[in-house]
Structure 1
Amino acid sequence: MPTGVVAVVLVPDEEGLISPYDLYELSTVSMVFGPSHADLAEPWYELRVIGPAPHGVHGLDALAGADTVVVPSAPETMADGRQEVPGELVAALREAYAAGARMVSMCTGAFVLAAAGLLDGHRAVVHRTYAPSLAARHPRVTVDASVLYTDGGRVLTCAGAAAGLDLCLHLVRKDLGAAVAGALADRLVVAPHRSGDRPQFVAAPLPADPEDPLGRVLQWALEHLDEPLTVEGLARRALMSPRTFHRRVREVHGTTPLRWLLDQRVARARALLESTDLPVERVGEASGLGSAANLRRHFTRAVGVSPTAYRRSFTPSGPPSRGR
């Protein structure tokens, strides 16, 4: 039997209906933690869907023994305060948390965890359109509307929709390692990792047109991150003046060329720390960030933890279990 029990709690509105967003996020959780991927690791997860028929197959008593509790989007009536979170659900969530479960919300599911007091003192994210309401109704929660997801250890939140898939893959990476999460992402045809601190606004990707000079030179830069690169040199390669090159990068990516380059180097360092055992000094060289000290400075500023701590957090620990 799998040891990591993931319980998804569907929260109906006052008429007993489940929202389309709730069902979308249920599908996301099922795709990631469902039994169809059990061949990727042993043990895999056990998935329980809690909620009203026909979507749910368990009652709230199935939260007992859950290792991870996921609350997808709550009804609009709960997000805007017209509907209270049921007392029995609040009590069940508190009991699960007290028993050691980690708690996960997707978008407006944060209102449910907040009603149970489980987000007090934590940084939490919802879609930016709901952030003012969450902050006003739950002042003890530090609301961040700028990122995709947050990881506070036992309390995790995300902005919903695609960010929900990012957060689920993040949990697999924590539990089973980058290789398993990467294999799963490959099956799902999605990017293997988008860090939680990425902005909810997604800048335009590299231009797809192979004849586009900006797209060509930025693709070339990605293939040569370990070499000395300058804005002036990239502009020359793109047959542009530095001023025009700066303007075009900002138009397409919403940032400066130097910032874009630094972001790509940090992303390369992340990938190397997750998937290799290269010494930190070599990671700095291979990513173009230079010395170990320079890597630590830029990496810690961008990610919030040191390279060594980041690598440690992605060492497979196995699905969360309390010894069953």
Structure 2
Amino acid sequence: MNDILDVALRLVAVLVVFLTFPLIVGQAEHKVMAHMQGRLGPMYAGGFHGWAQLVADGVKFAQKEDIVPAEADRRIFQLAPAVALLPYLLVLIAIPVGPNGFVGQAIDAGLFFVLAVMGVGVLGSLMAGWASANKFSLLGGLRTAAQLMAYELPMLLAAASVAMAAGTLSLPGIVDAYQWWWTPWQIVGALVFFIAGLAELQRPPFDMPVADSEIIFGAYTEYTGLRFALFLLAEYAGIVVLCGLTTVLFLGGWHGPWADSVGWVWTLLKTAVLAFVVIWLRVTYPRLREDQLQKLAWTVLIPLALAQIALTGVVKVVIS
């Protein structure tokens, strides 16, 4: 009973802590974009450096009316935001933060677990697009499905390359097996994984499913209030998951000076730097066309991921 209680308390603690990370990323996005694009509003809300912007956004969403379209599939429509958010929170439990068991729940096949559960999160957008009874929402959902099929494969192949190099599917095991010379010859896989992850999250420049100039806001067009806020929170949670996984798989996780004592700081620092890159890309690059998005996946990322797996196999044979 004590063991069960201990595991339950650890899971609750990890969820409470990591639930705040998406909010921090959301706040950071306001500030970074404000600096890069000269936006005044997010820098002044509440006084010192716009500290109250996130609070103002929360109050705004909470006071909006919760509307369900008359022709919508009511149950699926209401369930979709939770389906979009919860998988990313579950994945956070399995990502190791530091050495010596500093992880919510260690899973032997952790890499399979996180990639499978991340794919479930996209179903929230598909459910929202289908259930809204809106042609723009349906089109956004169909684009989400096409994007998922195109970018899931290179993401899996890039992750498989790391698993081959480490000889394990356990995320803590992958970090333990990490060597400093991995990063140079796994850099192609890291770029493929990161870019494919951005596309799965529908982050700019891969945000065709929510192209406001064409289809209003895609699958989320009919959503208001807190349900819409949950979709935004799911996006920020996905950013934390993507950056955390990239850190664990390709950047050595907690490896760094004084890793035994402050290894968790290195994990969080690397994750924060990657999150900044995600925001930077949103500000820098314009949205791709749908044909450009598909062409990038099938003609560039998948061949590069296959080449990375081949290189990993050659290196493993030479080393052994």
TM-score by structure 2 length?
A: 0.28
Q: Greater strand share, 1 or 2?
A: 1
Structure number with the bigger relative contact order (C-alpha 8 A, sep ≥ 6) is 2
Q: Greater helix share, 1 or 2?
A: 2
Rg (Cα) greater in structure? 1
TM-score by structure 1 length?
A: 0.28
